[in-house]
Amino acid sequence: MSAPPNFIKYIIEADIAAGKNDGRVHTRFPPEPNGYLHIGHAKSICLNFGLAEEYNGLCNLRFDDTDPAKEEVEYVESIKSDVRWLGFDWDGRLYHASDYFEQLFEYAVQLIKKGKAYVDSLGSDEIREYRGTLTQAGKNSPYRERSIEENLDMFERMRAGEYEEGAHVLRAKIDMASPNMLMRDPTLYRIKKVPHYRTGGMWVIYPMYDFTHCLSDSIEGITHSNCTLEFENNRELYDWVLDQLEVYHPQQIEFARLNLNYTVLSKRKLIRLVEEGHVDGWDDPRLPTISGLRRRGYTPESIRNFCERIGVAKADSMVDIALLEYCIREQLNKISLRVMGVLRPLKIIIDNYPEEQVEELDAINNPEDPDMGTRKIPFSRELYIEQDDFMEEPPKKFFRLAPGREVRLRYAYFITCDEVVKDPATGAVTELHCSYDPQTRGGDAPDGRKVKGTLHWVSASHALDARVHLYEHLFLKENPNAVEEDKDFSDYLNPNSSETLKNCKVEPSLNAARPGDRYQFERLGYFSVDTKYNSPEYLIFNRIVTLRDTWAKILKAQQQKK
């Protein structure tokens, strides 16, 4: 029932045992609304909401919206719907850092009054120079010793809009020689004459992350503030601000962010893929965004299971995307309806089957779940099978159709291939003439003879037209972030990551398929009806993931031998 142990749970359990925060557990998921959520965020969402659930606590959704230049309502709406879709509920505790702007301003004034913050009038380049380097101490700004009165006055004027952008900033007065760069008088407020998507033109100064985040956590009574590893250096500042202000002090805990191979999980890179048109929007099914995974056909449960399986720790890691694929197969195997669909059709004619005759055969909807029942599928003289299921000169271990060979058509009959018809110009196989054994109706031979292969098929005259999108890894390189000299991560994009098959044939029961419905196409994989595009003439499917394909492995091994 409960997810596996991790170091954050141990911290929480120790805190509860010690009576810290009266045994309360209160977490938060604090996205900045400057992009769409991806599966890395899902890890954080599952962690924070999951912790709250497990320890009878609460988890807030808080937008960390302190940079009006980057943030938009479109993003907050998408984030809210993604969190909900994943199955989590902030239950009315939806907050925004921008809700706290007035309070934050007051805190800044307090800091100034304590002599712990000052208005600096150095330019940004100068501030950088004065900061020193990793190995050299910085030096104090000439404005560092302004009087409290002057600081107060100037900070009020900053707020009043009396200065231009960049003219002044409010800085914490800490230690320009600190070995931690973040403690060298970090900027607390900057002037930005940019309207905020929520506060409009109310403010022209905006607080920085380090000042905002810890205080927002404090205001909300957060007990355990979980963030990713790159914020470890910020913790000293997080603690400093809260200590100076003598306010309620949550605990920041850092864990490793998710990395997945064959894809990218950084907002900056995802934004580029979208804006440069490498993909079809934020919900492109090849993207690791929540909206992309949703459109691809992934279920929330499978993503939650994935997040549970990868664990939470402090070591930088790169998870194999095969685990994500395993998680969606695992669920879809249990719940999805089986149907037959032919992606690359090859026509076969059963010469000894009466013309005009049609039989309704029984097919099982889901062998994993007998309660899902059966359905009828039409069988007739002309059928389509998969091109891959026939080979004129079959290699070893090929169990499918070949000249003179007998196979089973699933739920139908045994058929034998009698004749191969080819295009005289190209030599390509255009159709097959076969004969069936009437005794094998349903798929078993009364004489007990066996066949090695079972093929999926569809009746030519009854089949529905469909278009199918096949997807592969977005990148060819396992780690597209490891860019070589003179290269860009986009150079590693897989040119074959998306393929559209326009001539597919699926069984007639699929006329009931609605956008978002998921099916297993037997022997092929799991597919979902696209939710973005549709056509009155044909169905559009996205391949979520293939089935495990042992034959493909054998083939690959055979080819490698040669």
Partner RNA sequence: UGGGGCGUAGCCAAGCGGCAAGGCACAGGGUUUUGGUCCCUGCAUUCGGAGGUUCGAAUCCUCCCGCCCCAGCCA
Asked if 39 interacts with RNA (CB under 7 A), we say no
Asked if 366 interacts with RNA (CB under 7 A), we say yes
Strands 518-521 and 337-339 turn out to be parallel
Instruction: Report yes or no: 349 and 431 within 8 Å, Cβ to Cβ.
Output: yes
Q: Which stretch binds RNA (CB under 7 A): 105-113, 239-247, 395-403, 467-475?
A: 395-403
- Position among 329, 477, 505, 518 found at the interface with RNA (CB under 7 A): 329
- Position among 187, 266, 380, 531 found at the interface with RNA (CB under 7 A): 187
267 is catalytic: yes
- Position among 56, 103, 233, 439 found at the interface with RNA (CB under 7 A): 233
- Position among 302, 454, 509, 542 found at the interface with RNA (CB under 7 A): 454
For the chain, percent helix, then strand, then coil, each to nearest 5? 35, 25, 45
Q: State the DSSP code for 2.
A: P
Asked if 557 interacts with RNA (CB under 7 A), we say yes
Tokens of 333: 């195997």
Residue 397, Cβ neighbours under 10 Å: how many? Answer: 11
| Per-residue CA distances from 353 to 44, 362, 380, 449 (Å) | 59, 19, 8, 21
Q: Which stretch binds RNA (CB under 7 A): 47-55, 82-90, 322-330, 465-473?
A: 322-330
Asked if 14 interacts with RNA (CB under 7 A), we say no
32 is catalytic: yes
> Sign of the CA dihedral 256, 209, 480, 260?
positive
Asked if 134 interacts with RNA (CB under 7 A), we say yes
- Position among 13, 156, 499, 549 found at the interface with RNA (CB under 7 A): 549
Strands 406-409 and 454-455 turn out to be parallel
Nearest to 337 by CA among 457, 467, 512: 512
The separation between CA 133 and the C-alpha centre of its own chain, rounded to angstroms, equals 37
Length of the chain: 562
| DSSP alpha helix (H) spans, 285-439 | 290-296, 300-310, 321-335
Residue closer to RNA (CB basis): 202 or 229: 229
Q: Which stretch binds RNA (CB under 7 A): 1-9, 11-19, 417-425, 466-474?
A: 1-9
DSSP string, 168-188: -EEEE-S-TT-SSGGGSS-EE
- Position among 18, 22, 92, 133 found at the interface with RNA (CB under 7 A): 133
Binding mask 67-106 for RNA (x = CB under 7 A): x--x------------------------------------
Q: Which stretch binds RNA (CB under 7 A): 109-117, 133-141, 151-159, 294-302?
A: 133-141
| Window 410 to 449, contacts with RNA (CB under 7 A) | 410-411, 442-444
Active-site residue, from 70, 144, 257, 441: 257
Q: Which stretch binds RNA (CB under 7 A): 36-44, 464-472, 498-506, 552-560?
A: 552-560
What distance, in Å, lies between the first and last C-alpha atoms of the chain? 49
Residue closer to RNA (CB basis): 135 or 426: 135
What is the enclosing helix (H) or strand (E) of 337? Answer: strand 337-339
Instruction: Report yes or no: 463 and 384 within 8 Å, Cβ to Cβ.
Output: yes
Distance CA 455, CA 438 (A): 17
Q: Judge residue 43's burial from the number of C-beta atoms within 10 Å of its C-beta, 0-12 exposed, 13-18 middle, 19 or more buried.
A: buried
Binding mask 478-517 for RNA (x = CB under 7 A): ----------------------------------------
Residue closer to RNA (CB basis): 21 or 234: 234
Residue closer to RNA (CB basis): 280 or 369: 369
| Window 261 to 320, contacts with RNA (CB under 7 A) | 309-320
Asked if 194 interacts with RNA (CB under 7 A), we say no
Asked if 199 interacts with RNA (CB under 7 A), we say no
Distance CA 369, CA 224 (A): 42
Active-site residue, from 28, 146, 159, 267: 267
Asked if 66 interacts with RNA (CB under 7 A), we say yes
Q: State the DSSP code for 153.
A: H
Size of the site for RNA (CB under 7 A): 91
Distance CA 272, CA 35 (A): 11
Task: Compute the least distance from the CB of residue 537 to RNA, in Å.
Answer: 28
Q: Which residues are catalytic?
A: 32, 257, 267
